[in-house]
Amino acid sequence: MKKKKGTIIFIHGNSSSSEVFRPIIESKILTHTKIGLNLLGHGNHSSNSTNAEDFSIKAYSKDILNQIADIDDEILLVGNSLGGHLAIEIAPEVANLRGIVIFGTPPVKKPINFEEAFLPVPALQTFLTEHPSEGDIEMAVSAAVCNKETIPQLVADFKKANPLVRKAIGIDLMENKLSNQLEIFSTLDIPKYIIAGKKDPSVNPEYLQEVTNNCNGNCKLIKFENCGHYPSIEKPQEFNTILHKIAQEVFSEN
């Protein structure tokens, strides 16, 4: 089947990998070019670096922009959790950006509005812990998802990630090194989509609705029933269907 115009860039989250997008990338429904990135220190993009700054928001943003700089095509960014935050951070600098999809990602203000954007779940602090126990990893992943069949993959990704990733992200959060993502996201003059697992334990659904309302009709909030923090692997068929519709909306047919 001939590929359609448009390239979809998938960006995973903290201590995850591009494996969370495998069901989507391998789908025959989407015939656009699909690229699943692995952030440094994750998946097959391993690193033995002992410098936490290599895994900072700034470093990751620069690395992603370098990886996609030579793409001569319309682009749709799709980001999960940290990947969604990174998608927002780089969006103003992406040439030919036609749309953005985020999930597990509340676009934060500056200073970061933790209490407004996120829900307090102690088990999920493991995702900011450099060397958690195996039991804590299992507990954190289990708390994050509804589809328990996804747990082994998510645990394997977590264990494979460089522990400094979690330290670096924690430092960036505590030192308020993220941009005003709400402002960036709200003012992007492209179609925007927020996919929300209705049982995502980490993101405040009321805040997502406020973000959507703040976009003056240029953002769609799409809710998945019985779904947690990782819709692309918890509900792959539903995710595929939605992303196919989004791709049709954002990519030109000319």
pLDDT in tens, 44-58: 887 778 888 999 999
243: pLDDT strictly greater than 70: yes
CA-CA distance, 69 to 59, in Å (whole number)? 15
In angstroms, the Cα distances linking 124 to 14, 39, 80, 85, 238 are: 12, 20, 15, 17, 25
141: pLDDT strictly greater than 60: yes
What is the pLDDT at residue 125? Answer: 97
What is the pLDDT at residue 3? Answer: 64
**Residue 103: left (phi > 0), alpha (psi -120 to 50), or beta?**
beta
What is the pLDDT at residue 193? Answer: 98
249: pLDDT strictly greater than 70: yes
| E strand intervals along the chain | 7-11, 33-37, 75-80, 97-103, 192-197, 219-224
Percent of the chain with pLDDT over 70: 98
pLDDT band at 254 (very low <50, low <70, confident <90, very high): low
Name residues whose C-beta falls within 8 Å of residue 63's C-beta, 6 or more positions apart in sequence. Answer: 39, 40
Domains of the chain: 7-250 (3.40.50.1820)
Interval 92-101 mean pLDDT: 96
**∠ CA 215-63-138, rounded to 5°:** 80
* Lookup: tokens for 3: 């590929």
Selection from 185, 241, 195, 242 nearest residue 221 by Cα: 195
2: pLDDT strictly greater than 60: no
pLDDT band at 26 (very low <50, low <70, confident <90, very high): very high
What is the pLDDT at residue 252? Answer: 78
1: pLDDT strictly greater than 80: no
Model pTM score: 0.96
What is the pLDDT at residue 50? Answer: 84
Asked whether 231 and 13 are in contact (CB, 8 A), the reply is no
Question: If DSSP codes are grouped into helix, strand and coil, which group holds residue 26?
Answer: coil
Percent of the chain with pLDDT over 90: 90
253: pLDDT strictly greater than 80: no
